Amino acid sequence: MKKELNAINSLRFIFIFLIFIHHFDVFKLYNNKLFLENWIFEAFIGVQFFFILSGFVCSYGYKSKIITNKVLKEEFLIKRVKKIYPIYMITMLLSIIIYKISLQDVLSSVIPFLFLVQSFVPLDGFAFKFNGVAWCISNLFFFYIIFLYFLKLPLRKLLWSYVIFMLAIITIIIKFNITEELGTWFYYVNPVFRFIDFFSGVLLYEIYLRIQQYITRKKATILEFISILMLLIFMYIGISKIPLIYRWDIYYIFPISFLILVFSFDKGFISKILNNSLLKN
């Protein structure tokens, strides 16, 4: 039986908090140029953390079981649906009631949401209707389906697929002038683009398998401090130097992936603090 990823579970709480403060606009009421506002906006990286982590956790918990038929592909998907869909529907209904969305608006838009495909609709703001954060769940179910079809690929093919996919994304960003109206959907919501995050998590697991036995407590502690510092440096540079279309996705893949990998070892000083904190509960 595999060990629990206790430090990662605590990090989840931290990144949930980041997503929360990203949507917290109170600072704009006081000063549009407030330094903290830029950092609060950058907390959208919490979404990317969860996409990458999902790829890692799916591989960690299910890859060997699915390959050996201990868990059927259908079972994997049904379990995901049973776990998420009821809460998803309840929150959507509550959002409709709380925000007093008209019946006409509901009927004209609800079908993609019922089938969890709202993220595929290339209309600015459409995926944020009803429950604004549910587009992430739409993306995740797409990722889960794709995951089942490439998890048996050998590592070499996985790596080549990843490199080609990443180069394709970079090429599209550089070569195509996506209108501002579509920009948020195309670069931030678009599940095809965002699959690179989940894919990164899948590869991260392969790295974890091959190096985790060589990581001592001392090495893990050093790596934990480096990973946190690296993410903060990336954020600082990103806020001041990097266009938003890169920061929405590919720019933060490496530092966030490195952070997840390092804390998945669960051996360092910071991991010990996280394991003894209330964050994991």
The answer for residues whose C-beta is within 8 angstroms of residue 109's C-beta and 6 or more apart is: 126, 129, 130
pLDDT at residue 198, as a whole number: 97
pLDDT score recorded for residue 267 = 93
- The residue count of the chain comes to 281
| pLDDT band, very low/low/confident/very high, at 46 (cuts 50, 70, 90) | very high
Q: Does some domain include residue 207?
A: yes
- Is 107 within the bounds of a domain? no
Q: From residue 71, how far is each of 81, 161, 211, 217 by CA, in Å?
A: 15, 25, 26, 34
Q: Is the pTM of this model over 0.75?
A: yes
**How many domains are there within the chain?**
1
| Per-residue pLDDT at 34 | 58
140 within some domain: no
| CA–CA separation, 280 and 7 (whole Å) | 8
Q: How far apart are CA 230 and CA 160, in angstroms?
A: 26
Are 199 and 48 in contact by the 8 Å Cβ rule? The answer is: no
pLDDT tens string 3-19: 788 899 889 999 988 88
- Kindly tell me if the per-residue pLDDT of 78 is higher than 90: yes
Residue 165 lies in a domain: yes
Q: Is the pLDDT higher at 181 or at 86? A: 86
Establish if 257 belongs to a structural domain: yes
For 110, the token pair is 């609800």
Angle, vertex CA 138, rays to CA 168 and CA 181, nearest 5: 60
Which has the minimum average pLDDT: 178-182, 198-202, 258-262?
A: 178-182
Q: Running DSSP on this structure, what letter comes out for residue 277?
A: S
Distances (CA, A) of 258 to 225, 231, 235: 11, 9, 14
Provide the mean pLDDT of the chain: 88
- Confirm if 197 and 253 have CB atoms less than 8 A apart: yes
Write out the H or E segment, with its range, that includes residue 262.
Answer: helix 253-264
> CA 175: distance to chain centroid?
25
Residue 273 lies inside a defined structural domain of this protein: yes
pLDDT, residue 101, reads 85
Does 160 fall in a domain?
A: yes
SS3 content of the chain, % helix, strand, coil (to 5): 80, 0, 20
Whether residue 162 contacts residue 206, with contact meaning beta carbons closer than 8 Å, is answered with: no
pLDDT, residue 135, reads 93
Residue pLDDT, tens place only, 127-170: 988 888 889 999 999 999 999 988 888 999 999 999 999 999 99
Q: Which two tokens stand for residue 124?
A: 């600015």
Residue 220 sits in which domain range? 6-71+155-280
Q: Is residue 202 part of a domain?
A: yes
Distance CA 212, CA 264 (A): 9
